[in-house]
Amino acid sequence: MRLDKFICLSTELSRVQAVASINAGLVLVNGSTELAQTTQVHENNCIEMQGEVLKRRAFRYIVMHKPLATICSNVAEGYPSLLSLLPLSNTSELHIAGRLDVDTTGMVLITDDGRWTYNITLPTKRCHKVYRVGLAKAIDEEAALALIDKFKQGIQLQGESELTLPATLQVIAPQEVLLSITEGKYHQVKRMFAAVGNKVRRLHREQIGALTLDLAVGQWRYLSDAEVLSFMD
């Protein structure tokens, strides 16, 4: 990461204060004064400021049950930011690993570990996300088999050149299904059902990887070490 960001994540300095410290020649990288705030540093570098070796704060890994009418953003934009529900310091350093729309509820994972996030969000990592979907139109028994196969083969979304990756569809009731996908395209679940002539009325994410939602609406907790490791290669 950039040197100025590393300093912010290792101290209580703001970005402006971190840059000022670098410009003043107060920061050493591997024993040499570093004056470029954009210099890329890594965990194996020794970074010192005024004689103190800096250590990045420990990463945070959080699961939350997202309520309706909240947005997966660091800033409130018409709706409250989901991060405003966390009574924690330095929430600006956090991000959401796989966002949900304002009208979608369910599991979100929150962290400040960007590499960990890649294991959840990159389609090549094949991390399954399971959604409980309420539909406008009922699916009869005969149509269900064809629809399950269609989702398995991939759906052609409007404006996309390629089919979606294979998805698993399970019909729970005529107007309720469970859908498991490994991608996170823009409004993907809603667009998938629109492509087959249906409309999503309710959308709730209840599982990511092997982790299932065990919290009441609005509640959160830190992940255990085992849960964190379950998303790592």
Catalytic residues: 101
Helix (H) or strand (E) holding 119: helix 114-121
Q: How many residues would you count in the chain?
A: 233
46: exposed, middle or buried (Cβ count in 10 Å: 0-12, 13-18, 19+): exposed
Secondary structure letter of residue 81 according to DSSP: B
Name the pairing type of β-strands 32-33 and 61-66: unpaired
Instruction: Find all residues with CB under 8 Å of 143, minimum gap 6, and list them.
Output: none
For 29, list phi and psi in degrees, rounded to 5. -120, 115
Diameter of the chain measured on Cα atoms: 72
- Six-digit token pair at 215? 């919290």
Q: Which of 53, 2, 56 is nearest to 28 (CA)?
A: 53
Single-letter code of the amino acid located at 64: M
